Amino acid sequence: MGYRGKVKERNQARRLRAKGWTMPEIAQRLGVSKSSVSLWTKDVAFQPRMWKRPPGRRGPNALQRRKEAEIEALLAEGLARMATLSEREFLVAGAALYAGEGSKTEGEVRFTNSDPRMVAFFCAWLRHFFEVDESRLRLRLYLHEGLDLDAATAHWAKVTGVPREQHRAAHRPADDPTMRRTKHQFGCAAVGYCCSRTHRAVMGLVQALLTCEVAIPG
């Protein structure tokens, strides 16, 4: 899920990795996630390239290099441990995600997040495990004034598969100097589906997840 249609980025990631680029560098260069880079380049031999430092600028010190190496190693380990989700694991993962980020208010399944990977995961989960009437899906965008509304709308329409005509009016808070300066380029998306039965079914999964026994060997 999420890797189809990116053959160009995959090939470029493999070329850069072979040249000694780190995963964070490749992800930033191509505008993709580090997990995607790790998946695409896991079989590419890696040899850190020699840095050519600009005049007056220090290169990464030993502590920074160890940190970077540890991040890469643990990312690869995480992908190896997780591997591919079974249908049951997909069901449980979606319930856990909704337990943390979904609306508990009766009558509407609503999931809000600024991370497109989480929103895409939720949409895929909802569509897979429930009978969803696509025409009843809604999306509301939370985007700070000064950011590109058209670009953000197109972005989230692509991520969620919810067409523009089903988007509600965007909420655009005015700039506030007391708020944090870092703002998400495409804002935060809330995907909603008004169906009491579906919401009750989702909450049933959430309650089951939070009350079931955990079987840990040993």
Q: What is the pLDDT of residues 29-75, one digit of tens each?
A: 888 887 788 888 888 877 666 555 555 656 667 888 888 888 888 88
Say how many domains are in the chain.
2
The confidence score (pLDDT) of residue 34 equals 78
Burial bucket for residue 53 (CB in 10 Å: 0-12, 13-18, 19+): exposed
Residues 154 and 76 in one domain: no
Task: Say if residue 3's pLDDT is above 60.
Answer: no
97, 195: one domain? yes
pLDDT at 65: 80
In this structure, the answer to whether residues 118 and 43 fall within a common structural domain is: no
Whether 37 and 136 share a structural domain: no
169: CB partners within 8 A, 6+ apart = 140
Residue 2 domain-assigned (yes or no) = no
Q: What is the pTM of this model?
A: 0.73
pLDDT tens digits, 135-163: 999 999 999 988 999 999 999 999 999 99
State how far the Cα of 60 lies from the Cα of 56, in Å rounded to an integer.
13
Percent of residues, the chain, with pLDDT higher than 70: 87
Residue 1 domain flag: no
Do residue 74 and residue 100 come from a single domain? no
Domain interval for residue 129: 87-211
Residues 122 and 170 in one domain: yes
Q: Is residue 93 part of a domain?
A: yes
pLDDT of 118 above 70: yes
Per the domain annotation, does 188 fall within a domain?
A: yes
Residue that is last in its domain, among 31, 48, 82:
82
Provide the terminal-to-terminal Cα distance of the chain, rounded to the nearest Å: 34
Is residue 101's pLDDT more than 60? yes
Which stretch of 30-44, 66-80, 89-103, 174-188 has the lowest confidence by average pLDDT? Answer: 174-188
The residue out of 43, 60, 82 marking a domain boundary is: 82
pLDDT at 214: 79
> Residue 173: what pLDDT?
86
Q: Please report, for the domain that includes residue 180, its CATH number.
A: 3.30.1330
Predicted local distance difference test score (pLDDT) of residue 2? 43
Question: Which one-letter amino acid corresponds to residue 33?
Answer: S
Q: Is residue 61 part of a domain?
A: yes
| 8 A C-beta contact, residue 189 and residue 162 | no
Answer yes or no: is pLDDT of 8 > 60. Answer: yes
Residue 22 predicted with pLDDT over 50 = yes
- 171 in the same domain as 105: yes
Q: What percent of the chain has pLDDT over 90?
A: 50
What span, in angstroms and rounded, lies between the C-alpha atoms of 126 and 116? Answer: 15
Last residue in a domain, options 82, 109, 144:
82
pLDDT (0 to 100) of residue 1: 41
